[in-house]
Structure 1
């Protein structure tokens, strides 16, 4: 496919309502993972001084922004949503070119970003406190909520529209100003989104974006003395560094990290629906979701039947360029991620798991220029193998048989992670046990592990998060502080 992006436009940082080049004078190319010779665009390789300018801008704008009424801030979010909606096709195509996910998924994600903005625009008219009875009959006591101040948003490459928006929208509506550090791999998409937001006429400094390496800009945000809160989505290794840096200086932090999400297939499950959910949850988006299905725990009574149906369905999937009609599975987002997935496939074979399906790079000449990998399934997986314990972030499923529902839930909980989990069963007893005993922040019954609704709290247990919650009205807990007021005339 001939690309209109060949050569690549240069995208700038957004600071104090202006588009600015980085002080380093350096840029880095963003490549199309489906066709690595295509440069989607060039983004700024920024320095600590660029970050300082963005933080100073956000800090200067914060007092004026917080003094606006919630409804006035909401009007800006409505305008942001409308601007993004007008450019939904452009943003989605950019996402597909830069990150690789099929265009229908990219459009769905962008539409979700629009919906998130509208949801939080409405938050500007909802209550932010309670009246509390005082022991003094002549006094009034109540709570209100105040913004943290300047919030740093560090977002990943796998959902380059939805995740930054579900962080910055609540941050803004509750009166904070924002410095966004998008993943370097999807910074062109982020710039397109910020262009939409700039059209809404936000006051200068309310929203800023600085692109660059995680070690300079991401860690710089976490350590910056004038950043009052950090919200991060990404790997456990990086997240812990961000959290430690914020903790060291007393800043509030929110971490959403890894998952090793199980789906349990009970003996009474509708196997056709369970297979569809396993493939959608584990293989769609090339497995590059923190909520992706990774461990498939199957009651032995239906193990062989499930396995047979799974392989038949996988054979019908189309791997290809996300811009091509009919593509179901796009490439890994970048070369390093492909190498990681391949290393885990090799580990699975080295540790004695049986490669049941896939496991290699497609042999089609049309895909030779991209970071493609076949959907992969391992049989005969032991619970202590690396592919059963470590996050892969690729389209790799580990099938594990068990003899009872009790053993299934115990095995599902045998993980350092606790983000999402699902079960397929018709048994009320199994459902209740799963809801009560599953150690995960999101449990889904007769539905795939992946899938987060914007109005519901989202977050994990154990090593999957810092135990706060994103999205829905729960977001107010992180992005504000409670102030108790005692008033006596």
Structure 2
């Protein structure tokens, strides 16, 4: 598609698809072929973000009073529309984000499954009835929506992650403004259109395109916005957190992390190989749960790496719409350059690049953001590549002498997004689960592939999007009157 024939994406505000008033636009291009110009993303003006927040605030008055089962029914109808439109949505994800068609289809199915779970969960009991310390009184707790929620979505999971947050925000009675990543506007429009076509009342779900430090910042500063969720780069998240803290509103950020995998000498090596490859090279290593480090206990290191390099070198790069392709591109030029910088710095500091480490420019790959899958061996803990998640198919390898050394090596003062251990030893499994600080702990499974309906994920979102009130009721005087009347 030529630049002149590319589509211009629209905002969705107050129940209407509106052409933006923006004078500036960002290009939406296919990362597998930069000559495939998909569309223009408006860098919306402040007034458009403000309008979206204001109509969301107005819609909140009735939406928060809508019975929870009815709110859940909306999410269930959106899930049905996602299922009916699954294939074109998956192909849109491939074209603008770069993952393979199999990965995109899996993301759509994940989104559908969570929407179905969340829609049904809206009708589940909530709160607790608590006996109080005196007769004739009882108390109960109830959840209340926070208000308007701003969702600033990442490019690595342009459908599933926003769907999870959007569905949870809606069933708890909040209204939402979605600000999608500049790289994935079309997927965002598919998502919002499913909710609009499912019957979302005007203003309940809104979409405004723009940059995080402009449109996103305007949303965070709006007095009606009471919660912000953002997925993306550390710098964007840090800036958004500072803004949210200044207003004392709820904030949650999700970023890529150096998610480690430990492989012990007693591990099932075939299982570990498959898990590391899935975690490190699925979605070209760009998800926030992707494996970025593997720690190998010495007796197994050489054999494991020999097999790993052989399998990684056999991966086929290309456009994800080709179902024979096993590895797609990085999402944009900035990400591939950041990955190459980390690799070169590690090499200069004494690490050994076993495979990859270069940009792929041959044949049909010449115009895309393709990085050959990379394994960097003999990485020390003080190297930058061990501390910073490379945004691409890059895996750092460190060798240790024992399980205890491996645990010490991957221990972080801050909670990791995910961590995994491969072993047959039950005691080590339990020790790992006890000691590792990670939101998702995996044993003999990849760091990727979280199930969002597990309570740790579902309840975290439920708590984030609501505030809990205690209600006290005194009925003792009335009970005494009824007793006097013989009732």
TM-score, normalising length: structure 1 = 0.94
Q: Deviations over 1:138-180 (max 9, x none)?
A: 1121111100010111110000000111111000000000001
Larger deviation: 201-210 or 408-417? 408-417
Partners of 1:215 and 1:474 in 2: how far apart?
26
> Is 2:46–2:218's contact at 8 Å kept on the other side of the alignment?
yes
Instruction: State the distance in 1 between where 2:5 and 2:145 align.
Output: 43
Shift of 1:234: 1.8
Cα deviation for residue 271 of structure 1 reads: 1.1
Q: For 1:411 and 1:105, how far apart are their aligned partners in 2?
A: 31
Partner residue, 1:49? 47
State yes or no: 1:64 paired with 2:62.
yes
Distance in 1 (CA, whole Å) between partners of 2:396 and 2:27 is 35
User: Corresponding residue for 2:175?
Assistant: 177
SS at match of 2:225: coil
- Give the structure 2 partner of residue 320 of structure 1: 318
CA distance 1:184–1:203, shift in 2 (3 Å): same
Matches within 5 A, 1:281-300: 281-300=279-298
TM-superposition CA deviations, 1:42-75 (whole Å, max 9, x none)? 2222011100000000000001101111111111
Matched, 1:486 2:472: yes
Measure how far apart 1:23 and its partner are.
2.3
CA distance in 1, matches of 2:421, 2:3: 43
Question: TM-score under structure 2 normalisation?
Answer: 0.95
Alignment correspondent of 1:86? 84
Q: CA RMSD in A?
A: 1.5
1:31 is matched with which residue?
29
Look up the match of 2:229. Answer: 231
Equivalent in 261, 264, 269 of residue 262 of structure 2 = 264
What does residue range 429-440 of structure 1 map to in structure 2 within 5 Å?
429-440=427-438
- For these two proteins, the number of residue pairs brought into alignment is 475
CA offset digits 1:447-487 (Å, max 9, x no partner): 111121021256xxxxxxxxxxxx42332111110011111
Give 1:248's match in structure 2, choosing from 237, 246, 252: 246
Q: Where does structure 1 differ by over 4 angstroms across 4 or more consecutive aligned residues?
A: 3-6, 414-417
Give the Cα–Cα distance (whole angstroms) in 2 for the partners of residues 359 and 240 of structure 1: 29
Question: Is contact 1:282-1:292 (8 Å) kept?
Answer: yes
* Equivalent of 2:212 in 211, 214, 224: 214
2:141 is the counterpart of 1:143 = yes
Task: Confirm or deny that 1:380 pairs with 2:378.
Answer: yes
Provide the C-alpha distance between the structure 2 equivalents of 1:51 and 1:380, rounded to a whole number of angstroms: 48
Q: Distance in 2 between matches of 1:213 and 1:190?
A: 14
Q: Deviations over 1:226-284 (max 9, x none)?
A: 10111122222221221221121121111222311110010101111111111110111
1:25 positional shift: 4.3
The match for 2:300 among 292, 299, 302 is 302
Give 2:399's match in structure 1, choosing from 401, 410, 413.
Answer: 401
Distance 1:417 1:140, change over 3 A: closer
* Residue of structure 2 equivalent to 1:364: 362
Residue 445 of structure 1 corresponds to which residue in structure 2?
A: 443
